[in-house]
Structure 1
């Protein structure tokens, strides 16, 4: 058992008669002092005229106070009467079962409340004040127009010229890939259900649209010139030199374009770690804009200068990241990457100029989209798809691949990848480009693929070791990783076969 704790007992003394008498005397003195200082005036306390002399009031003052009290009582009586009327209406409507119960009751309550408020205003406010308040309300209404009136008066002009300028053109889609049958949609070769994310119901329509779009937005390498040739290519002039005495002409050459594309690849893969789709979109936007500026009279060749070239690349990078990525890098970080050569406002203005020059048409397909389709049709493994991705990334640095269609670059990469994976036996055209790819692509024969295979193989044979192109080293090191099946190392091992494909 727990030991009991003894606490000290508190003894409260009982009040005596003397203490009680002392407290009553103190209370009476306090009440007398308060009545003498405050002197409250109440109607109930005024009983006779003899009390008026003690308080210090005459009959006229008493009558005035009584009349004011009666006026107040009348106002209170009217308020109570109105609320009583409201209660009667509510009780009557609630007893009537023929009405619409909740909604009708709510309407009756709201209507009666508004009537009572108006009556209370009329009783409490004199007539003069009501007229002035109404005038003030009218003046306020005249000075401050309502939102509806402001919206009605303000007419938003529609830029009809801009809409006409950027109107969409009708496309004539050529059917290249046939739609799949019901049996092909249900099962594949291994009798396993196909993943619904592949959109097999309308993938043929998508591919036919992509083949049409790549023809609509062609890119030719004629807007570039080699550094050694002195052709009649339109030259761009830089700003005046520091001393102001001389100027020198500047030409956009293939070397400049290779350096800029290599810098873009480094930003995507090494700096920001963004997707491969966004990188291909960025390079495509860069080539299209440079071609548009060189060939159009509105933009002018003087716009593309050595100083603006990196700014164009940064703006194209920002647009591609907004199109493909969920979150794009901040503009301030892109300015930091350029070593604060440009400001954020300059980047935004260049972004706007690129969009206007390209008429906001950013749907040109990339070679990566076609490569995924060709890998799926040919049931490619991880090695084949990784080699194909390495080859199309290398094609971005090759100026000769600018004029090739994205589908041809992807088909050539698929052909070379399948050829490198079977080095022991002499590969035939049917092995490297099976019948499924022949049926579901515009490339039916070896002659339709030979130009792309030769150009891509020559570039690989020339720059695979990284001695001639420093920009290729980034891609070679990236594809040495095991997650990408060491695609670049495998291509180096099969360099003799690549040289053989380059000579065909």
Structure 2
């Protein structure tokens, strides 16, 4: 229960005989004045009339002060204007002191209330003007209340209407010619026996042929050539005189992007995806694909300029590509501040965002180039591959990201070569023929019908894997080798090391 609050007591003084007599005189005078005189003209004769008692004088003075205070009330929001009718109450009460007649108390109340009501109606409530354009005139007050208030014409300044800039006008999509490589599935192909396991609906069996045909067309639309990278040794590009001037500090040697620079950056990206942020393999392949496409675009095109790709901007380009790939593939991408932190605060968040816009505009917002991982899943499904074959294929295509020679290969060829090598080394006891490593199902559902169509990719990938497993592998290769040593990935790297002789045989054929 809430405690009672003690309020201060109010002491009301008891009326004396003199005060009661004075009140009766006031009542009698009001009744007499209302019947004989006009209340509107009582104020003027009061000033010339003699006042007989000091009590009446004090009463009149108090009432006049109260009327002045009430008429001069000013608040922050509103100001009350006093008209001449305000003096009517003072005239009524002042005239009462001159009349000694008696009357009823209720009549006095009615007269006072009527006079107050009449005075309040005639008092104008004027709002304080908030701006110099507010309407203060009494004549326009009624008209303004009937219509909505509007600002003057000079306040209605014409603001520029934001016109949406259509940035994609010059990036209009072009028609893509889709070649029919994989035939659509028939009802017999979709028939499942009772003993067979149901097919995962994520494979989209009703549309898989159309999807694969589109992917084959897109990889032809966005080719990547390794010719934009220079060789590792760039000393032959500059004469000895130029080298001498550089040693004296009088000239600076232009920086060129080499294969070693690209391998170092790709190894750093792989470490970010697998060791730092633990993101998906799809996002990593998208990131490196965007990096290669943008570097090729900047070096070969005249719009971006080859001078844009410098040693200082290379890591910034890699971070921006990482951010785009994470937004495309992942549900939640790492914060930009976290990416700035992994660069040791070499760049700011604004620089990362600007580079992200630069990459998108140079690539015309076309991020649909397929990855080799997408084709690998399809080839593993068609060939009814087990976990070991698919894990070895994933290890091989991850290793191909570090190989500069694999940049110019189509993603489907890299996936086909990885599938071929994986099936070849899984049967070490008997050498397999082309039809056994690449069965009829894969031949009919891929553009690679013969060994000659895929021999180039198989040889390039096998040579690089053989070199990495020889013990002279770089730090970038060690990251992937340790990752695929786990049992969850079927120890794919250890198995490839055991079957290195077979890989060497494929590399030398």
Q: In the superposition, relative to structure 1, how do residues 74 and 471 fare at CA in structure 2: closer, same or farther (>3 Å)?
A: closer
Q: 1:140 maps to what in 2?
A: 151
| Stretch moving more, 325-334 or 283-292 | 325-334
- In the alignment, is residue 130 of structure 1 matched against residue 177 of structure 2? no
Matches of 1:385 and 1:493, distance apart in 2? 17
- In the alignment, is residue 259 of structure 1 matched against residue 290 of structure 2? no
Which of 361, 365, 372 is equivalent to 1:367?
372
Which of 147, 157, 163 is equivalent to 1:157?
163
Q: Which runs of 5+ in 1 are unaligned?
A: 1-26, 76-125
Q: In the superposition, relative to structure 1, how do residues 242 and 501 fare at CA in structure 2: closer, same or farther (>3 Å)?
A: closer
Q: In the superposition, relative to structure 1, how do residues 74 and 140 fare at CA in structure 2: closer, same or farther (>3 Å)?
A: closer
Q: 1:101 maps to what in 2?
A: none
Matches of 1:34 and 1:358, distance apart in 2? 102
- In the alignment, is residue 499 of structure 1 matched against residue 481 of structure 2? no
Which of 432, 440, 452 is equivalent to 1:447?
452
The question of whether the paired residues in 2 share the 8 Å contact of 1:186 and 1:193 is answered with: no
- Structure with the bigger percentage of helix: 1
C-alpha deviation, 1:447, in angstroms: 1.0
Give the secondary-structure state (helix, strand or coil) at the position aligned to 2:250.
coil
Give the secondary-structure state (helix, strand or coil) at the position aligned to 1:128.
coil
Matches of 2:226 and 2:117, distance apart in 1? 101
Q: 1:32 maps to what in 2?
A: 14
Q: 2:435 maps to what in 1?
A: 430
TM-score normalised per structure 1 = 0.73
C-alpha deviation, 1:154, in angstroms: 4.8
Alignment of 1:200-211 (within 5 A): 200-211=205-216
Which of 209, 221, 226 is equivalent to 1:221?
226
Q: 1:392 maps to what in 2?
A: 397
C-alpha deviation, 1:253, in angstroms: 1.3
Matches of 1:171 and 1:36, distance apart in 2? 112
Matches of 1:36 and 1:433, distance apart in 2? 128
- In the alignment, is residue 68 of structure 1 matched against residue 115 of structure 2? yes
C-alpha deviation, 1:143, in angstroms: 6.0
C-alpha deviation, 1:50, in angstroms: 8.4
Q: In the superposition, relative to structure 1, how do residues 273 and 50 fare at CA in structure 2: closer, same or farther (>3 Å)?
A: closer
Matches of 2:185 and 2:408, distance apart in 1? 32
Matches of 1:316 and 1:360, distance apart in 2? 13
C-alpha deviation, 1:369, in angstroms: 0.6
Matches of 1:404 and 1:188, distance apart in 2? 39
C-alpha deviation, 1:380, in angstroms: 1.0
Q: In the superposition, relative to structure 1, how do residues 50 and 356 fare at CA in structure 2: closer, same or farther (>3 Å)?
A: closer
The question of whether the paired residues in 2 share the 8 Å contact of 1:188 and 1:194 is answered with: no
Matches of 1:169 and 1:355, distance apart in 2? 17
Deviations 1:263-321 (A, max 9, x none): 11111111111111111011101111111111111222111122221111111111111
Matches of 1:298 and 1:371, distance apart in 2? 35
Once superposed, what is the RMSD of the aligned Cα atoms? Answer: 3.7
The question of whether the paired residues in 2 share the 8 Å contact of 1:185 and 1:194 is answered with: no
Which of 325, 335, 340 is equivalent to 1:335?
340
The question of whether the paired residues in 1 share the 8 Å contact of 2:30 and 2:92 is answered with: no
Give the secondary-structure state (helix, strand or coil) at the position aligned to 1:356.
helix
Matches of 1:448 and 1:34, distance apart in 2? 126
Q: Which runs of 5+ in 2 are unaligned?
A: 1-8, 33-52, 61-88, 96-110, 123-136
C-alpha deviation, 1:164, in angstroms: 2.9
Which of the pair has more CA radius of gyration?
2
Q: In the superposition, relative to structure 1, how do residues 253 and 420 fare at CA in structure 2: closer, same or farther (>3 Å)?
A: same
Q: 1:357 maps to what in 2?
A: 362
The question of whether the paired residues in 2 share the 8 Å contact of 1:173 and 1:208 is answered with: yes
How many residue pairs align between the two structures? 413
Give the secondary-structure state (helix, strand or coil) at the position aligned to 1:415.
helix
Matches of 1:364 and 1:325, distance apart in 2? 17
| Stretch moving more, 292-301 or 59-68 | 59-68
The question of whether the paired residues in 2 share the 8 Å contact of 1:466 and 1:473 is answered with: no
TM-score normalised per structure 2 = 0.72
Which of 275, 282, 287 is equivalent to 1:270?
275
Alignment of 1:167-206 (within 5 A): 167-187=172-192, 190-206=195-211
